[in-house]
Amino acid sequence: MVSNGLNGHTNGNNHPPVPIVDLAAWTSGDDQYAQKVAAEKLATAASINGCVGISGHGVDPAKLAEAFAMTKKLFALPYSSKMLAPHPDAPVPHRGYSGTGRENAAKKTETEDWGGTANKTDYEALIDFKESYEIGSQNNKVNYNIWLPEEVFPGFREWGLRFYWELHRAAMVTLDALMMGLELSDEEKRSIKGLHSGHDHQLRLLHYPPIGVERLKDTHASRLGAHTDWSMFTLLFQDEHGGLQFLDRASGEFIDAVPQDGVLYMNIGDMFQRVSNGYYPSALHRVVIKSPNAPRYSIPYFVPPRSDGMIEPQPSRVLRDGRQKYEPVTFKEYSEQSFKAINSY
């Protein structure tokens, strides 16, 4: 039988833990040799399952604590207040507040490689039990921000934008290291960097309410069904409850991304899988229920490319692999097709 993700077990221990890589050489200091060594470690780790824990990422712990405090305060507002900034009933702008049960993440994923005994149809029946709030750059005119009135949550807007740009810095360091580890040409690196002005990224605040004993009996309740992200990659902070898991492709089992102080989890998304011609696999991940009576908070920062940017396997990777594994696609085309697969819009 397929695990419904309720117990959080990974059915044995025949799999490696999520690797942890230190990027301090990139965030403090300019020792180029140390940077190269760290980039190589990052690339090797990311090539296994598309997921890596990153320490030395440079995000100030005090700012992170503030971010979790702001996230808790936001979701503690009455539903009627949160609905003053509603996510529209449309894919764009992907901004503002969405209530619980709105999204079915398992449906939006392109992979058919579910590993082990897992079956995509079983995952599709899951209803995600979470609420979220999406924030982006003020300069993004397509995905424009949807804010709560200032008096409903004073300081939220100002903090949200500040934190968005704080995570942008960590994201660009990660991108540079991931590109160096791929051994791309300078021109390839420049063109990928050109897809990331910073205005297309997305800061998501997430709250998974206590699921409760009654709902636990419902085999279709999970915190977040298995899916891949569409982004190039995603940075993610979670609270002490844990529950995030990644698919270990060799064993077909999900492995815990164990919460650790000072560590964020990075996962490769569908776009980097394409750009790297499959060297970095898009990580299948989910959130299981570790502590049903406690709320869980997490903060992902998605790093998608510019919407009209062409996403294609880089020539140097294709040359190495002897064949091109993916057709070129713009992120806009890709995400429009993928959005159609989510049943809540």
- What is the greatest pairwise CA distance in the chain? 59
Q: Is 94 in the site for ligand AKG (CB under 6 A)?
A: no
Q: Which stretch binds Fe ion (CB under 5 A): 31-39, 93-101, 223-231, 307-315?
A: 223-231
Whichever of 25 and 203 has its CB closer to ligand AKG, that residue is 203
Q: Is 103 in the site for ligand AKG (CB under 6 A)?
A: no
User: Contact with ligand AKG (CB under 6 A): which of 6, 42, 287, 311?
Assistant: 287
State the Cα–Cα distance between residues 185 and 31, nearest whole angstrom. Answer: 21
Whichever of 229 and 248 has its CB closer to Fe ion, that residue is 229
Q: Is 229 in the site for Fe ion (CB under 5 A)?
A: yes
Q: Which stretch binds ligand AKG (CB under 6 A): 56-64, 185-193, 236-244, 324-332?
A: 236-244
Could you identify the residue written with the tokens 């709105």? 102
Give the count of beta carbons closer than 10 Å to the beta carbon of residue 196.
19
Q: Is 103 in the site for Fe ion (CB under 5 A)?
A: no
User: Contact with ligand AKG (CB under 6 A): which of 136, 300, 304, 305?
Assistant: 300
Q: Which of 174, 186, 193 is nearest to 39 (CA)?
A: 174
**What token pair was written down for 57?**
């990422």
Q: Which stretch binds Fe ion (CB under 5 A): 144-152, 161-169, 226-234, 254-262?
A: 226-234
Q: Which stretch binds Fe ion (CB under 5 A): 228-236, 270-278, 309-317, 334-342?
A: 228-236
Give the 3-state secondary structure of residue 151.
coil
Give the 3-state secondary structure of residue 60.
coil
Query: 30 near 243, Cβ under 8 Å?
Result: no
Q: Is 135 in the site for ligand AKG (CB under 6 A)?
A: no
Q: How far is CA 39 from CA 6, 186, 241, in A?
A: 36, 16, 30
The DSSP-derived string for 158-210 is HHHHHHHHHHHHHHHHHHHHHHHHHT--HHHHHHHHTT--STT-EEEEEEE--
Could you identify the residue written with the tokens 């989910």? 286
Give the 3-state secondary structure of residue 138.
coil
Instruction: Give which of ligand AKG, Fe ion, none residue 236 binds (C-beta under 5 to 8 Å, depending on kind).
Output: ligand AKG
Q: Which stretch binds Fe ion (CB under 5 A): 137-145, 224-232, 269-277, 326-334?
A: 224-232
**What token pair was written down for 239?**
């609270």
Radius of gyration for the chain, computed over Cα atoms and rounded to the nearest angstrom: 19
User: Contact with ligand AKG (CB under 6 A): which of 18, 45, 195, 224?
Assistant: 224
User: Contact with ligand AKG (CB under 6 A): which of 244, 266, 283, 303?
Assistant: 244
Q: Mask of contacts with ligand AKG, 191-210, x by CB under 6 A?
A: -------------x-x----
Q: Is 229 in the site for ligand AKG (CB under 6 A)?
A: yes
Whichever of 153 and 230 has its CB closer to ligand AKG, that residue is 230
Residue type, 168: H
Whichever of 38 and 287 has its CB closer to ligand AKG, that residue is 287
* In the complex, minimum distance from the CB of residue 206 to ligand AKG, in angstroms, rounded to a whole number: 5
Instruction: Give which of Fe ion, ligand AKG, none residue 244 binds (C-beta under 5 to 8 Å, depending on kind).
Output: ligand AKG
Q: How far is CA 74 from CA 79, 133, 166, 203, 293, in A?
A: 10, 9, 19, 14, 20
Residue 298: strand pairing partners: 206, 238
Nearest 5°: phi and psi at 245? -135, 145
Whichever of 131 and 229 has its CB closer to Fe ion, that residue is 229
Q: Is 238 in the site for ligand AKG (CB under 6 A)?
A: yes
The footprint of ligand AKG (CB under 6 A) covers 204, 206, 224, 229, 236, 238, 244, 285, 287, 298, 300
